[in-house]
C-alpha cells in the first residue's frame, strides 16, 4: 500500500496523472491487501483495470490472484523471500527479488516493500529515483522522518538486486 502511494506521489511530482486505488475492508485488518496504481501522461480514466503492465506480488496469495493479470510483455515482480513457488507465465518478464532477506540485512524487516519499489523503479523506469526520494521525504514526516535513510538504502539495494 505504502509502496503504491510513494510511486503515485513520485509520479505526481513529475507532473504525471496518477491514481492510487486500494482494496479495503476486512482485507485491511490483517489479510492480504492490494492496490492499483496508474501513472500516465494522459488523464486517468478508469482507476480499475483487469490487466496491468506491472504486477508486484509480495506473497503467495497475491501471486496466485494476479499472475494472470499481467499484460503480455509486462513485468511480474516476486518477493522471492516469501514466495517459494514458480510462476507459470512465459510471455512476461519475471523479476525475483529477495526483499525480506535484503531488508533483514539492513536491520529493518519493514522496508522489504521499499526494496521491491527500488527493483520496480530500476526495471520499469516509470519514475525517477529523485522523485521517489522526494515522495519518501514528503510521506515520512514527524516521528517517521528518522526512517527516511533506511528506506532510501532499501530502495538502492532493491535497484541493485534488479540490475
| Residue 54 CA neighbour count, 13 Å, CB half | 21
- Please identify which residue in 41, 48, 73, 86 interacts with another protein, judged by CB under 8 A: 48
Does residue 131 belong to the site contacting another protein (CB under 8 A)? no
CA–CA distance, 148 with 90 (Å, rounded to integer): 37
Q: Which residues, in sequence order, are bridge partners of residue 22?
A: 35
- In DSSP notation, 43-61 reads ----S--S-EEEEEESSHH
Question: Of these, 3, 20, 57, 117, which contacts another protein (CB under 8 A)?
Answer: 20
Q: Determine if 8 is a binding residue for another protein (CB under 8 A).
A: yes
Which of 31, 41, 45, 67 binds another protein (CB under 8 A)? It is: 45
Phi and psi, residue 8, nearest 5°:
-65, -45
What character string, x for contact with another protein (CB under 8 A) and - otherwise, covers 24-43? xx------------------
Smaller CB separation from another protein, 12 or 83: 12
Shorter beta-carbon distance to another protein: residue 5 or 80: 5
Q: Are 162 and 118 in contact (CB under 8 A)?
A: yes
Supply the DSSP symbol for 143: G
Angle at 74 between CA 69 and CA 79, to 5 degrees: 75
Span interacting with another protein, options 18-26, 75-83, 101-109, 140-148, rule CB under 8 A: 18-26
| Residue ranges binding another protein (CB under 8 A) | 5, 8-9, 12, 17-22, 24-25, 44-51
Amino acid at each position: 500500500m505504502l509502496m503504491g502511494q510513494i510511486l503515485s506521489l513520485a509520479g505526481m511530482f513529475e507532473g504525471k496523472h496518477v491514481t492510487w486505488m486500494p482494496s479495503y475492508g476486512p482485507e485491511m485488518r490483517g489479510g492480504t491487501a492490494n492496490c492499483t496504481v496508474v501513472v500516465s501522461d494522459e488523464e486517468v480514466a478508469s482507476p480499475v483495470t483487469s490487466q496491468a503492465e506491472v504486477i508486484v506480488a509480495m506473497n503467495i496469495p497475491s501471486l496466485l490472484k494476479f499472475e494472470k493479470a499481467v499484460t503480455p510483455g509486462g513485468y511480474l515482480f516476486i518477493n522471492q523471500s516469501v514466495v517459494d513457488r514458480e510462476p507459470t507465465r512465459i510471455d512476461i518478464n519475471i523479476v525475483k527479488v529477495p526483499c525480506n532477506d535484503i531488508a533483514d540485512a539492513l536491520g529493518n524487516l519493514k522496508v522489504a516493500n521499499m526494496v521491491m519499489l527500488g527493483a520496480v523503479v530500476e526495471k520499469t523506469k516509470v519514475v525517477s529515483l529523485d522523485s521517489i526520494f522526494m515522495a519518501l521525504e514528503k510521506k515520512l514526516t514527524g516521528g517517521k522522518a528518522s526512517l527516511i535513510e533506511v528506506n532510501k538504502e532499501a530502495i538502492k539495494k532493491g535497484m541493485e538486486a534488479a540490475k
